[in-house]
């Protein structure tokens, strides 16, 4: 019985995402310092709390939705809840860009730490902002979520997101 419990525990530990601190080490409650998301870092136009967000993904009617959706404008428009000065699709790094961060342990859901570690290794500046996702379990263009998110800017100003993305995006 004890061996089975230990094997199950090891199995879960190997499949669960680890939360890292600002030094890239395993976070320890009450001791670690770092940047992590909290409920205020996720804003839903459907007024859903964090536990009720459902399936999220890239806006389905892009780029038309940017000018046609009142819900999206209420989120990131000039007077929106997460008003943006500049809006753009931040792409995944090209192979030659990804090569520059080899050896950096990048983690899902830790864009703050990832962007900071990329800056430390490469000098690519951190860009703080919001990532926008659509509620995929609601009607097209009906509701969106903004997540406080960091990415990097290359020396030429191009934005690049080194944080690993879910395969479903």
Residue 13, pLDDT score: 43
Of 19 and 52, which is predicted with more confidence? 52
| Selection from 90, 68, 59 nearest residue 158 by Cα | 90
Residue 68, pLDDT score: 94
Residue 103, pLDDT score: 94
Residue 18, pLDDT score: 66
Considering the entire predicted model, what is its pTM?
0.79
Of 168 and 83, which is predicted with more confidence? 83
The mean of the pLDDT values for the chain is: 86
| Selection from 9, 31, 11, 2 nearest residue 19 by Cα | 31
């Amino acid at each position: 019985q004890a061996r089975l419990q230990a094997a199950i525990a090891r199995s879960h530990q190997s499949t669960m995402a680890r939360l890292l601190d600002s030094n890239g080490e395993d976070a320890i409650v009450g001791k670690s310092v770092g940047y992590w998301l909290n409920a205020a870092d996720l804003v839903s136009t459907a007024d859903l709390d964090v536990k009720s967000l459902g399936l999220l993904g890239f806006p389905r009617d892009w780029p038309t939705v940017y000018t046609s959706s009142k819900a999206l404008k209420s989120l990131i428009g000039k007077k929106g809840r997460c008003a943006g000065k500049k809006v753009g699709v931040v792409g995944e790094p090209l192979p030659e860009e990804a090569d520059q961060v080899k050896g950096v342990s990048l983690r899902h859901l830790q864009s703050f730490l990832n962007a900071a570690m990329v800056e430390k290794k490469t000098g690519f500046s951190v860009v703080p902002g919001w990532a926008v996702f659509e509620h995929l379990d609601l009607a097209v263009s009906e509701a969106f979520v903004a997540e406080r998110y960091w990415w990097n800017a290359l020396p030429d100003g191009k934005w690049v997101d080194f944080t690993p993305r879910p395969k479903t995006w």
